[in-house]
Amino acid sequence: MAVAAAHAGAVGHHDHIHPEPEGFVAKYIFSLDAKVIGVQYMIAGLLFFIISGLLAEVVRIQLLTPGGAILKNDAYNGVYSLHASGMVWMVVIPMMTGGFGNYVMPLMIGARDVAFPWLNLTAFWMFPVAGVILFSSFLIGAPDAGWTEYPPISVQGPPGTTMWCIAIFLIGISSTLTGINFMVTIFKMRAPGMTFTRMPLFVWAQLATAMLNMIATTALAGALLALFLERVFDVPFYDPARGGSPLLWQHMFWFYSHPAVYIMILPAFGIISEVFPTFARKPIFGYKMIAFSSIAIALLGFMVWAHHMFTSGMAPWLQLPFMILTMVIAVPTGIKIFSWLATLWGGKIDFQPAMLFALGFLVVFTFGGITGIFLSAVPVDLHEHGTYFVVAHIHYVLFGGSIFGAFAGVYYWWPKMTGRMLDRKLGVWHFWTTFLSFNVTFLPMHWLGLLGMPRRVAQYRPEFQFWNDVCSIASFVLAASTLILFYNLATSLIRGKRAPANPWHARTLEWTVSSPPPYYNFKTIPAVLKNPYNFGEPLPYIGLTLAEEEEDRLPKPGPAVPAHS
């Protein structure tokens, strides 16, 4: 009954196919196709990743000697500020939502595109513009108060700080528009029969991220607008001499930027949740728990911002609730970690590069999560705040979390996106060199921080030199290891093996169409009977037109099994 209704819906009004655009510009530059826009996000994000990564290497070269190897203090401030701003806003956020979200999410829900393609196009083009504005602030004096740009330094900072404001404001608008677009897409454009509890977990993660993007990012826009007004029109918001408050910025900034860490990590959780069941050949453990914990993390993320401000002079009675709420976030995160472990348990694991990065993610992200618990405890934070311990923590969760997740996503979906396979051996090399050099780079920062080395300094006490040199040398290896990935991507494009529609024998909808997918994604929109993770059962889709070469190999779509609701 329900199946018949769902199938009837499949041939309903969703079923018009737009003609493919003609000409290079309409097809690749100003395309309305979410897949092309997704790839554009990835290319731009990759360029900014290289720039921000090189800035990180400049930081590490500077810290080779206690006196600072190459830069004056002011220049050094600009370098680490733009390294962090670039990585957060120009790399991780646009890659995870704009890149993977645009490419994969519509395919996964059985849609032909996102809800508002024009909005998508507009949001994309704000991104490279914002990136260029951000990095060209070097020309007139880069912002020098770190990525958090606390007043009063940011109010008095060099002219580039204004450009920083404009760039982040622009990318914020872009994120908000993408968030709105994805919310509507996920709510309104799922294939018939795909109830919320039959959505792939990556889509759940994108939904939670879109909620955060839509709500939190405009709060940052407010903070940035106020900073812009204060810098340009001398309007007092943050200047204490005129009744303003630097703490106001911290509240407004962290009200966005704490949810922003979940904007950066939730899509990675989504990627991992797809990679684990596929390569463990097992149904995901605790599907609903993983899905709902994404939403729980998104909601809790709004209630913890002041844990960044324990040392800023906030009211002591407020510290306890913020500390406890922060620790509560470990519960939904822990649910995810243990569900992934249980997914692996008893599985027949295929150690493809995507799976290696997912496993690496599990190790280092859990480690970073635990140091996060340290930092959320007020007495510990009072000691560790503003030290390299924080730097170590953020890189374990942001590099070890988000970037490892993105690497896993690249290895997982590259064949789908390009129709070419990546070299497995190079992928394994990439993983092991990255994993090892990553840990050698960032692990020593924990004890450097505990010993009292402050973050954001161009010089440091001589006794810290040994471990700083270890970090620096490992970071050069880390940069070199990324070259293996770039080499792999380039050679795959030129002479990579042709990818079949479903190289990993995965079960979500994007693998049922050819690689790369046709412009219209699906000839007919399939109807969905179950969540996609029941390995060993027939595919839970009706009305699928499989890519031709897959007709023989895939498990056939099952007969009309009654949907269990």
529 binds other proteins (CB under 8 A): no
User: Least separation, in Å, of the C-beta of 537 and other proteins?
Assistant: 32
Q: Which among 30-38, 136-144, 218-226, 402-410 is the span making contact with other proteins, rule CB under 8 A?
A: 218-226
Token match 């519509």: residue?
Answer: 106
The residue (of 85 and 213) whose beta carbon lies closer to other proteins is 213
Q: Which residue in 40, 52, 85, 176 binds other proteins (CB under 8 A)?
A: 176
Site for other proteins in 177-206 (CB under 8 A): 179-181, 183-184, 187-189
242 binds other proteins (CB under 8 A): yes
251 binds other proteins (CB under 8 A): yes
Alpha carbon distance 418, 374 (integer Å): 43
235 binds other proteins (CB under 8 A): yes
Site for other proteins in 93-132 (CB under 8 A): 115-116, 119
Single-letter code of the amino acid located at 455 = R
317 binds other proteins (CB under 8 A): no
Alpha carbon distance 113, 128 (integer Å): 22
Q: Which residue in 50, 61, 64, 215 binds other proteins (CB under 8 A)?
A: 215
322 binds other proteins (CB under 8 A): no
The tokens of 170 are what? Answer: 């622009």
Q: Which among 226-234, 264-272, 536-544, 555-563 is the span making contact with other proteins, rule CB under 8 A?
A: 226-234
H/E run at residue 487: helix 465-495
Q: Which residue in 1, 12, 346, 495 binds other proteins (CB under 8 A)?
A: 12
Q: Which among 10-18, 394-402, 498-506, 531-539 is the span making contact with other proteins, rule CB under 8 A?
A: 10-18
The residue (of 141 and 152) whose beta carbon lies closer to other proteins is 152
The residue (of 147 and 238) whose beta carbon lies closer to other proteins is 238
Q: Count of residues binding other proteins (CB under 8 A)?
A: 42
487 binds other proteins (CB under 8 A): no
Single-letter code of the amino acid located at 280 = A
219 binds other proteins (CB under 8 A): yes
Strand partners, 454: 387
The residue (of 176 and 482) whose beta carbon lies closer to other proteins is 176
Q: How far apart are the first and last CA of the chain?
A: 12
User: Least separation, in Å, of the C-beta of 184 and other proteins?
Assistant: 5
Q: Which residue in 252, 264, 271, 513 binds other proteins (CB under 8 A)?
A: 252
Alpha carbon distance 216, 175 (integer Å): 10
Range 142-147, long-range pairs (CB < 8 A, 24+ positions): 142/77, 142/78, 142/79, 142/81, 142/82, 143/78, 143/81, 143/82, 143/85, 144/74, 144/77, 144/78, 144/81, 145/77, 145/81, 146/77, 146/80, 146/81, 146/84, 146/456, 147/81, 147/84, 147/85, 147/88
The tokens of 321 are what? Answer: 């609730």
What is residue 454's DSSP assignment?
A: B
Site for other proteins in 16-75 (CB under 8 A): 16
505 binds other proteins (CB under 8 A): no
Neighbours of 153 (CB within 10 A): 15
296 binds other proteins (CB under 8 A): no
245 binds other proteins (CB under 8 A): yes
Mark 105-122 as b/e (b = at least 16 C-beta within 10 Å). bbbbbbbbbbbbbebbbe
The residue (of 79 and 224) whose beta carbon lies closer to other proteins is 224
Strand partners, 542: 527
The tokens of 493 are what? Answer: 């494009």
155 binds other proteins (CB under 8 A): no
**Alpha-carbon 211 to chain mean position:** 14
Single-letter code of the amino acid located at 395 = H
Q: Which among 158-166, 232-240, 327-335, 342-350 is the span making contact with other proteins, rule CB under 8 A?
A: 232-240
Token match 């900073």: residue?
Answer: 227
248 binds other proteins (CB under 8 A): yes
The residue (of 229 and 440) whose beta carbon lies closer to other proteins is 229
What residue spans of 301-386 are helical by DSSP H?
A: 316-328, 330-344, 353-376, 378-384
User: Least separation, in Å, of the C-beta of 244 and other proteins?
Assistant: 6
Q: Which among 82-90, 93-101, 172-180, 523-531 is the span making contact with other proteins, rule CB under 8 A?
A: 172-180
User: Least separation, in Å, of the C-beta of 243 and other proteins?
Assistant: 4
Question: Of 331, 475, 401, 420, which Cα lies nearest the Cα of 96?
Answer: 401
Mark 430-440 as b/e (b = at least 16 C-beta within 10 Å). bbebbbebbbb
The residues that touch other proteins, with contacts defined as CB under 8 A, are 12-14, 16, 115-116, 119, 176, 179-181, 183-184, 187-189, 214-219, 221-223, 225-226, 229, 233-237, 242-245, 247-248, 251-252, 255
